[in-house]
Structure 1
Amino acid sequence: MISLEQARAIVAATRAKGRDMGLNPLTVVILDAGGHLVAVEREDGSGYGRPDIAEGKAAGALAMGVSSRKLGDMAADRPQFMAALSAAWSGKLIPAAGGVLIRDGAGVLLGAVGVTGDLSDNDEEAALAGIEAAGLAAG
């Protein structure tokens, strides 16, 4: 399981990357491997619905075992399947880049990060930087 210290390090580094990139205000959510909320930060100016979006990106990645970018690709190929999954999971599945699995050095799944606030590709780039800065691995 991901520790609170690790989660905070990912959140801080993700936000720092967003500032370095000049992104819109970000919201970052960290879930443990069981899908439980560990940390959430919503930057000033980030919309009130952003925590739900970030959590949906992270939760979808955990539930399916792939990044939310891959879920977006799956949604394009099989929209009915993805709509059914979203309904089954009470909307906790956002198939857009920005949800990334977090693993330790041995490849053990620790949890997932979900980032939202800018273009999905930028959200994902910030998430990846956060994971790396915390000394963990994505995927």
Structure 2
Amino acid sequence: MKTIKSTLLVASLILVFLGAIIIVQNKNLFTDGTKQEKKKEQDPHEKQLAYLKKHEEELADFVKSLNSKVESVQFDWESMKVEDIGNGTPQGGGYILTLDGRINNNKDTEFTLGIPLNHNSNEVPEKLVIYEMQPIRILRDGGWFLYE
């Protein structure tokens, strides 16, 4: 009789312990398997893209200042990415947002701009600083040439 009670007690403790583990790991315990609604924070990539779109006119003016023949600028927003800056040291030189585009509605032109990030790859720049990462080029005669 005492052995049966001890066995039942141990079995009960094991079930309680396993139940506690399952409850802790199951994020949707009280939502019938549906995801709980929670405030969605904007993805860092989306924040950075929104920042660039907010400054689209300044970015376009920068590209226009590179060549007097540039009448219009089209950005490829899907090309935006964050890249490491290499400076020859093990820790690297930081991060930079890059954005590609073309000019004068010509699909055979391209350029790349860079916007440095000061602290980490998920930040939005505090101040807009623009670098010409790749100059304006045009595809002709089977190769890419500087746009003149």
Name the structure with the higher strand share: 2
TM-score by length of 2: 0.29
Q: Look at both structures and tell me which one has the larger radius of gyration over its CA atoms.
A: 2
TM-score by length of 1: 0.30
Which of the pair has the greater relative contact order for Cα pairs under 8 Å at 6+ separation? 1
Name the structure with the higher helix share: 1
